[in-house]
């Protein structure tokens, strides 16, 4: 087991190096520069802008810039934001708690809805409950978050004045904290649970017809024990992968939702940094996300072993 994990970790290193090269290359070749907002401002003439870009090192060839970046990452320095002159690690640390709170709870609620609903609609296939769950899952899945978000703002903020639509981290009052989180969390949970419900349902259906289930029933086990102890346990295996692979989004943020509700998570930082060509920040977020995906992949494989005794690592 340990050998297996060690082996996987070692093979992950070259993968990550290649990923970092690709991301860096794309960012370096992408058009735009950090001073775009000042371009139509004659008070900041091109010579001044060029000097600033020179000081940022943006006039150097791409391989040299990559080498510098890689060396500083190797020593644990994530670099400095072009826009705020503050270390990238510090910027990310400022944003993470909000992400964990808003996106984390959105995800948690989604899982808590999706598993029971998915299980029930598989067990009672084609029942009224299944029909309702399926329909709402398709509605939730096909409505993009930018639509549901704006719709909720218009109903609950503009018309009814119930909820604030601008997220403010400065709020300390627990009631207002909940109030401002309701809409973004709901939007995320709606979308995520829709996706997950479908997966849980189909994965359960795959197992319900299996021989071992019939055997379990033949043994005279109660229906709920058959479903929970046998079917669900096997049905969850692909779901675990799915959840594990989506966990990095708790870190990278939900770009669209964060933008609509002005939630200051990593996602809104990412989109703002892309727009301003703030390469060090974009690089750090993208690369950390890549690391998380690779690590969680390994973690998912390890959890498999616990869930499915047939899988053994040698």
Partner 1 sequence: MRSDDIRKLVTEFRGHRLTRRQVVTRMGELGLSLGAIWTVLDRATALPARAAAAGRGSQGTLKLLYWQAPTIVNPHLANGTKDFHASRIVLEPLLTVDAQGNFAPVLAAAVPSRQNGGIAADGRSVTYKLKQGVKWADGRLFSSDDVVFTYQYVINKQTATTSYFQYRNIAKVEPLDAHTVRITFKDPTPFWFLPFVGGYGMILPRHALDAYIGSNSRNAPFNLKAFGTGPYKVETFRPGDLVVYSINEYYREPNKPAFSQVQMKGGGDATSAARAVLETGEYDYAWNMQVEWPVLEHMVAGGKGSVLTAPGGGVEALYLNHTDPNKEVDGQRSSLKAPHPFLSDLKVRQALALASDRGTIAKELYGEEGDASPNLLTTPRTYYSKNTKVTFSIEQASRLLDEGGWTRGPDGIRQKNGMKLQMTYVTSVNSLRQKEQQVIKDAFAKIGAAATLQSVDAGVFFSSSPGNNDTIAHFYRDIEMFTDTFSLAPIAYMEQFYSGDPMRDIAQKENSWSGQNLCRWQNKEYSAVYDQAVKELDPQKNAQLWMKANDIAVEQVAAIPLIDRKIVSVRSKTLDTAGNMSAFDPETRNIADWRRTG
- Residues near partner 1, by CB under 8 A: 31-56, 80-86, 91, 94-95, 153, 157-158, 161, 164-166, 168-170, 259-260, 262, 264, 268-269, 272-273, 275-277
Q: How far is the CB of 257 from partner 1 (least distance, A)?
A: 12
Q: How far is the CB of 51 from partner 1 (least distance, A)?
A: 6
Closer of 188 and 196 to partner 1 (Cβ)? 188
Closer of 28 and 237 to partner 1 (Cβ)? 28
Given a contact cutoff of 8 angstroms between Cβ atoms, the answer to whether 189 and 225 are in contact is no
Q: In sequence order, which residues have a C-beta less than 8 Å from that of residue 39 and are 6 or more positions away? A: 49
Q: How far is the CB of 168 from partner 1 (least distance, A)?
A: 6
Closer of 102 and 239 to partner 1 (Cβ)? 102
Opening angle at CA 182, ends 176 and 185, nearest 5: 135
Closer of 113 and 281 to partner 1 (Cβ)? 281
Q: How far is the CB of 139 from partner 1 (least distance, A)?
A: 24
Distance in angstroms (rounded) separating the CA atoms of residues 144 and 131 = 22
Given a contact cutoff of 8 angstroms between Cβ atoms, the answer to whether 193 and 140 are in contact is yes
Write out the two tokens for 267. 């996602």
CA distances from 308 to 231, 233, 239, 313 (A): 12, 8, 13, 12
Q: How far is the CB of 52 from partner 1 (least distance, A)?
A: 4
Closer of 168 and 215 to partner 1 (Cβ)? 168
Phi/psi of residue 87, nearest 5 degrees: -65, 140
């Amino acid at each position: 087991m340990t050998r297996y994990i060690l082996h996987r970790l070692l093979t992950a290193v070259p993968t990550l190096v290649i990923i970092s090269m690709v991301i860096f290359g794309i960012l370096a070749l992408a058009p735009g520069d950090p001073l775009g907002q000042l371009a139509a401002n004659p008070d900041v003439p091109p010579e001044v802008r060029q000097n600033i870009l020179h000081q940022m090192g943006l006039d150097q060839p791409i391989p040299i810039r990559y080498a510098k970046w890689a060396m500083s990452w190797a020593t644990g320095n994530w670099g400095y934001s072009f826009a705020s002159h503050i270390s990238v690690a510090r910027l990310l640390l400022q944003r993470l708690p909000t992400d964990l709170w808003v996106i984390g709870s959105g995800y948690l609620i989604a899982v808590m809805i999706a598993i029971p609903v998915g299980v029930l609609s598989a067990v009672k296939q084609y029942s009224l409950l299944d029909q309702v769950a399926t329909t709402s899952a398709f509605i939730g899945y096909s409505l993009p978050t930018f639509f549901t978000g704006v719709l909720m703002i218009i109903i609950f903020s503009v018309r009814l004045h119930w909820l604030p639509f601008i997220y403010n981290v400065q709020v300390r009052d627990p009631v207002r904290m909940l109030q401002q989180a309701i809409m973004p969390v709901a939007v995320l949970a709606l979308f995520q649970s829709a996706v997950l419900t479908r997966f849980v349902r189909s994965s359960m259906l795959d197992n319900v017809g299996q021989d071992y289930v019939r055997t379990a029933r033949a043994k005279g086990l109660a229906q709920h024990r058959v479903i929970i102890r046998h079917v669900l346990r096997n049905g969850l295996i692909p779901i675990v992968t799915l959840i594990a692979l989506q966990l990095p989004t708790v870190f990278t943020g939900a770009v669209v939702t964060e933008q609509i509700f002005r939630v200051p998570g990593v996602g809104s930082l990412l989109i703002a940094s892309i727009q301003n060509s703030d390469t060090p920040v974009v690089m750090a977020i993208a690369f950390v996300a890549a690391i998380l995906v690779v690590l969680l992949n390994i973690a998912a494989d390890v959890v498999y072993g616990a869930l499915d005794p047939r899988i053994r690592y040698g």
